[in-house]
Structure formats: structure tokens, C-alpha cells
């Protein structure tokens, strides 16, 4: 699936956060969205994740306006998109059941009831895909551990596994390694590489310019809620067309 | 029971305990069914006057039980709007009054628990493909400790109160000594008034054991309900 924002605008309490932003997430590519804090990166990802409709513009899935669909018909598209947030967002249960959540909500109510009963009785009941996803982030051996007892890095890896377990077409990552040590960051970057190899399109908001340069195929620079530069990562970093983008990348733009 | 509680009638104690358990369990069960959806609806929405609504619910936790009993009495008395139902001085009237007393407690504590669930948890459930019903279930599961505490607090309020059940129930026992609308609390009041302190203490001890048992079940449920 190709996910695209077309001229989208969004505001909070009447204050515009993003305006006229257009970009596209293609299968098998990593798109980095960089920019200073408060420039609308998270808002843009939330619009792409279909949390809320944009106030202006459209979100397109394979060229179709997603918000023209009813909520019921939008759900299958939403379920082809995974998202990982910046901070701890795990449910207070085991790592395996966290990783299995996306698979769990896709099951029939009958299966869900049986799975919940199994958990209540102390048996597992998590689908196999959850273990595969935990394996991808190197945490299969901690599957039964409670989320509260995981380190911040491990918790973020489980959150990544939860998004990956449903085999999404698109993965949206919001500053997902900003609080992690180099080792956990490396594990997740490797997982992103693998996701790209499997044809998953990845859009990641990041402050870390080196990270964008390391793993992104394309980079978009967001400034004051507008996309001022977007293109192949090498070109954006080495030969930015927009002067403000050049200054931001060079660290000369003070916010 | 023998010894210092030598003249205590076992049948009397058991029937009184059964009335207490029946009335309080029914009232708290019904109150939970009514309170939880309302707490969830308020917790999930943002509307004008939400603070005022929350304040009214919180104020309800302090309703004096005799006043509640009096109001229920007025509604259920022959001259009242529901007098024709013939509920006054029956266990059903006691259930109604305990329902009124327990509901603000269960609703208020549940609302706090629901509102205490981090927005990021809701977002994570939504982003993982959850429908609004799935997100609601996740919030209930995340707030489960608070919700069980709310139910236990409501149960504590219901089973330990004496004023309203005395007013609307009448503390009635049959001729053979078995309880009809007599609960452990109203029985303790009666025994103390008649100077039979040892019987009152025995009934109080039974009440404490029951409350302890209910709390133990609640703690067990909290420990077991670990899945999402």
C-alpha cells in the first residue's frame, strides 16, 4: 500500500500545527521526517495513522481518500498501518500479550474470549506471530516477563514488535529511539532494515540526523509545520535546495 | 456458638448474614452495572460541565445514609410515586437504598481509575488496529485495580451502613427468629440497644469476617486479571 498525505493541515485549539504538507510513504522504503521540536512531526504521523481527519487536504491509501470511507470500511486500511510511539505505551501485561495485541483484536470475539480465559487461568494463549515479532527484536526469551519489569529499551522493542506482529504495509515511528541507548537503537534499526526488505514502507520522525542519514532512503524536512524539503536522503543532506533546510541540517538554525 | 456467646442462635446469625450478603451483593452488582458504563462515558468524553458532573458524583459519596433512606422511604411509601409496588419494608427496598449509596462511590472511584489511564495507552490500542470498543476494553483492563477497588469500596459502604436499611427495611425478623429485613448492622444496633452486648459483638465479628472475605476475593480477582 502507498500511503500519502496531500496538502494536509491540522491544528490544536485553533493553532495551526501543520499546513499544506504533502508526502508519500512507498512500499519497501524508509522515509525520515526531520525537523526541530514542535514543528508538527508527531501531528503529521498521527494524521497518517488515521487518528483524526486532517482539517484540510486528504490522506490517500493507494490513491483513495481514506476519510471518504465510513469508519467500518476505514478499519481494514487502518489495520494495514502500524505505529510506534516515543514513550512507554505498553499495556500492563506480559511482553508476549503486548506483542500479540494487534493480532488479538483481529480475531473473532469467540477466539478472543477463549484467549482471555486462558490468560486468566494462567495459560498463555498468545498467537504465534507475537513470538516471531519478539524474536525479530531479540526479546523472545522475555516473552513472559511483565511489561513493567522491562527496561525502557526493551519496552520500546516490545512496542515495535507489537506493531510488526500484524505484518503491516506501513510502519510509522515517532521518535522511537530518542530515549534509547546505542545497543537498543541498533537492534531497532536492524529491525527496520528487515521490515524494509519485506516490503514494508516506513515513515519515521526523528531528531537524530545521523540516524536519518544511516537508514532513510528519503528524507523530508519539516519546519514550522510545512515540508520545506523532500528527496533522496543523500541529496537532501548534501545538496538541500531550501536555504532553511540547509541551515537546519548544518545545525545553524537555532530554535 | 458457646462460651461468652452462649445464648447466640446460630440460625439467627446465619439468616441475618444471608440477608446482609444478599442485599449488599445485589445492590453493588446493580450499581456496578449502572456506574461503570457511565464512568467510562464520562472518562472518554470531553464536554462542557464535565467538572460540575464530576463534583456532583464526588459529593454523592458523602450522602448521609439516613437521608437516603428517608428519600427512598418517601418514594416507596403508600403516598409516594412508587407506593403501589409494595416494596417498602422488603429486602428490595433495602437494595434500592444501598444502590443509591453505593453508586456514587463506585462511579467516582471508577471514573478516577479510568481517567488515570494514560492517553498513550489508548493511542497504542487504537494504532494497533483496535476499534473504539477495543480501546474501551483496554482502558477497563488497565484501570482494573481501580475498578475492583471502587467495587470493594462500594461494597464496604453498602454492607456496613445501618441508617437507610433501618428506615426502609424496618429491621424485621420472623417469629422463629430468622431475618427478613434484618441485616448484621441493624441486628447489632438492636442487640446493643437491648443491652445484649456479647451478641452484638458476635454479629459484628461475623460482619468483619464477611467484609474480609469479600476483600480477599477482590484481591484475588485483581491478581488474576492480568491479561490484555
Write out pLDDT tens, residues A188-239: 999 999 999 999 999 999 988 999 999 999 999 999 999 999 999 999 999 9
- The whole-chain average pLDDT of chain B stands at 91
> Strand pairing of A30-34 and A201-206?
parallel
Maximum separation of any 2 CA atoms in chain B, in Å? 66
Question: How do residues B99-122 score in pLDDT, each as one tens digit?
Answer: 999 999 999 999 999 999 999 999
Residue B219, pLDDT score? 84
Q: Inter-chain contact B128–A116, Cβ cutoff 8 Å?
A: no
Q: Does residue B5 lie in a domain region?
A: no
Question: How do residues A57-107 score in pLDDT, each as one tens digit?
Answer: 999 999 999 999 999 999 999 999 999 998 878 999 899 999 999 999 998
Question: A125 or A5, which is more confident?
Answer: A5
* Cβ count within 10 A of residue B92: 17
Q: Does residue B169 lie in a domain region?
A: yes
Q: Inter-chain contact A98–B228, Cβ cutoff 8 Å?
A: yes
> Strand pairing of A170-174 and A81-84?
parallel
To test the contact with chain B by mutation, choose from A78, A99, A103, A117 the residue with the greatest count of B C-beta atoms within 10 A, namely A78
Cα pseudo-dihedral B151, B152, B155, B160, rounded to 10: -150
Question: How do residues A15-48 score in pLDDT, each as one tens digit?
Answer: 889 999 999 999 999 999 999 988 999 999 999 9
Q: Does residue B3 lie in a domain region?
A: no
To test the contact with chain B by mutation, choose from A93, A115, A121 the residue with the greatest count of B C-beta atoms within 10 A, namely A93
CA-closest candidate to residue B172, choices B90, B99, B95? B90
Q: Does residue B21 lie in a domain region?
A: yes
Q: Does residue B37 lie in a domain region?
A: yes
Q: Inter-chain contact A159–B124, Cβ cutoff 8 Å?
A: yes
Q: Inter-chain contact B120–A91, Cβ cutoff 8 Å?
A: no
Contact in structure between A102 and A82 (CB atoms under 8 Å): yes
Burial bucket for residue B15 (CB in 10 Å: 0-12, 13-18, 19+): buried
To test the contact with chain B by mutation, choose from A45, A89, A146 the residue with the greatest count of B C-beta atoms within 10 A, namely A89
CA distance B142 to chain A (A): 7
pLDDT higher than threshold 60 for residue B226:
no
Determine the length of chain A.
Answer: 255
Q: Which chain A residues are within 8 Å of B130, Cβ to Cβ? A: 101, 105
Q: Inter-chain contact A91–B129, Cβ cutoff 8 Å?
A: no
CA distance B7 to B14: 15
ipTM summary value: 0.92
Residue A255, pLDDT score? 60
CATH of the domain at B94: 1.10.3720.10
Using a CB–CB cutoff of 8 Å, tell me whether A90 touches chain B. yes
Residue A186: CA atoms inside 13 Å, Cβ hemisphere, count? Answer: 3
B48 three-state secondary structure: coil
Contact in structure between A98 and A91 (CB atoms under 8 Å): yes
Give how far Cα A25 sits from Cα of A6, A111, A216, A232, B83, Å.
12, 34, 12, 13, 68
CA distance B121 to B139: 8
Per cent of chain B over pLDDT 70 is 94
* Cβ count within 10 A of residue A70: 7
B115 three-state secondary structure: helix
Angle at which helices A152-165 and A182-197 cross, to 10°: 10
Question: How do residues B143-191 score in pLDDT, each as one tens digit?
Answer: 998 999 999 999 999 999 999 999 999 999 998 889 999 999 999 999 9
A40 three-state secondary structure: coil
What total of structural domains would you count in chain B?
A: 1
Q: Does residue B158 lie in a domain region?
A: yes
Q: Does residue B139 lie in a domain region?
A: yes
**How sure is the predictor about B5, in pLDDT bands with cuts at 50, 70 and 90?**
low
Q: Where do we find the cell 515479532?
A: A133
Angle at which helices B10-44 and B197-224 cross, to 10°: 40
**How sure is the predictor about B227, in pLDDT bands with cuts at 50, 70 and 90?**
very low
Nearest CA in chain A to B225: A120
- A121-142 mean pLDDT: 82
Residues of chain B whose beta carbon is less than 8 angstroms from a beta carbon of chain A are 118, 120-121, 123-131, 134, 138, 141-142, 224-228
The domain in which residue B178 lies consists of: 10-226
pLDDT higher than threshold 70 for residue B228:
no
- What's the grid cell of residue A193? 532494515
Q: Inter-chain contact A159–B141, Cβ cutoff 8 Å?
A: no
Q: Does residue B144 lie in a domain region?
A: yes
- What's the grid cell of residue A231? 528527496
Amino acid at each position: 500500500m502507498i500511503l500519502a498525505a496531500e496538502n494536509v493541515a491540522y491544528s490544536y485549539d485553533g493553532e495551526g500545527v501543520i499546513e499544506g504538507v504533502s508526502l508519500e510513504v512507498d512500499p519497501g522504503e524508509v522515509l525520515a521526517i526531520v525537523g526541530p521540536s514542535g514543528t508538527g512531526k508527531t501531528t503529521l504521523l498521527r494524521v497518517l495513522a488515521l487518528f483524526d481527519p486532517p482539517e484540510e487536504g486528504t490522506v490517500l491509501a493507494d490513491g483513495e481518500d481514506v476519510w471518504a470511507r465510513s469508519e467500518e470500511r476505514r478499519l481494514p486500511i487502518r489495520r494495514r498501518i502500524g505505529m510506534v510511539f516515543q514513550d512507554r505505551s505498553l499495556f500492563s501485561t506480559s511482553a508476549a500479550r503486548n506483542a500479540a495485541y494487534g493480532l488479538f483484536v483481529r480475531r473473532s470475539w469467540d477466539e478472543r474470549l477463549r484467549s482471555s480465559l486462558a490468560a486468566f487461568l494462567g495459560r498463555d494463549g498468545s498467537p504465534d506471530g507475537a513470538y516471531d515479532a519478539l524474536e525479530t527484536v531479540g526479546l523472545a526469551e522475555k516473552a513472559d516477563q511483565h511489561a513493567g519489569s522491562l527496561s525502557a529499551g526493551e519496552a520500546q522493542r516490545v512496542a515495535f514488535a507489537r506493531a510488526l506482529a500484524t505484518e503491516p504495509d506501513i510502519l510509522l515511528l515517532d521518535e522511537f529511539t530518542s530515549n534509547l541507548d546505542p545497543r537498543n537503537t541498533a537492534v531497532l534499526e536492524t529491525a527496520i532494515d528487515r521490515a524494509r526488505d519485506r516490503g514494508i514502507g516506513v515513515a519515521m520522525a526523528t531528531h537524530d540526523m545521523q540516524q536519518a542519514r544511516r537508514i532513510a532512503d528519503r528524507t523530508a524536512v519539516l519546519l514550522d509545520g510545512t515540508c520545506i524539503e523532500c528527496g533522496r536522503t543523500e541529496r537532501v543532506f548534501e545538496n538541500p535546495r531550501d536555504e532553511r533546510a540547509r541551515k537546519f541540517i548544518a545545525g545553524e538554525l537555532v530554535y | 456458638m458457646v462460651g461468652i456467646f452462649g445464648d447466640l442462635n446460630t440460625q439467627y446469625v446465619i439468616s441475618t448474614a444471608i440477608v446482609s450478603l444478599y442485599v449488599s451483593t445485589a445492590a453493588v452488582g446493580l450499581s456496578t452495572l449502572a456506574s461503570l458504563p457511565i464512568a467510562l462515558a464520562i472518562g472518554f468524553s470531553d464536554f462542557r460541565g464535565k467538572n460540575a458532573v464530576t463534583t456532583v458524583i464526588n459529593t454523592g459519596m458523602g450522602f448521609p445514609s439516613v437521608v437516603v433512606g428517608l428519600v427512598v422511604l418517601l418514594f416507596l411509601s403508600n403516598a409516594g410515586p412508587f407506593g403501589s409496588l409494595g416494596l417498602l419494608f422488603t429486602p428490595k427496598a433495602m437494595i434500592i437504598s444501598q444502590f443509591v449509596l453505593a453508586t456514587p462511590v463506585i462511579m467516582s472511584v471508577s471514573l478516577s481509575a479510568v481517567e488515570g489511564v494514560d492517553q498513550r495507552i489508548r493511542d497504542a490500542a487504537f494504532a494497533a488496529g483496535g476499534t473504539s470498543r477495543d480501546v474501551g476494553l483496554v482502558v477497563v483492563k488497565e484501570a482494573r485495580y481501580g475498578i475492583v477497588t471502587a467495587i470493594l469500596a462500594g461494597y464496604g459502604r453498602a454492607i456496613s451502613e445501618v441508617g437507610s436499611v433501618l428506615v426502609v427495611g424496618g429491621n424485621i425478623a420472623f417469629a422463629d427468629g430468622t431475618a427478613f429485613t434484618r441485616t448484621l448492622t441493624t441486628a447489632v444496633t438492636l442487640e446493643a440497644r437491648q443491652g445484649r452486648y456479647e451478641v452484638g459483638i458476635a454479629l459484628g465479628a461475623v460482619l468483619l469476617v464477611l467484609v474480609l472475605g469479600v476483600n480477599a476475593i477482590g484481591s484475588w480477582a485483581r491478581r488474576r486479571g492480568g491479561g490484555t
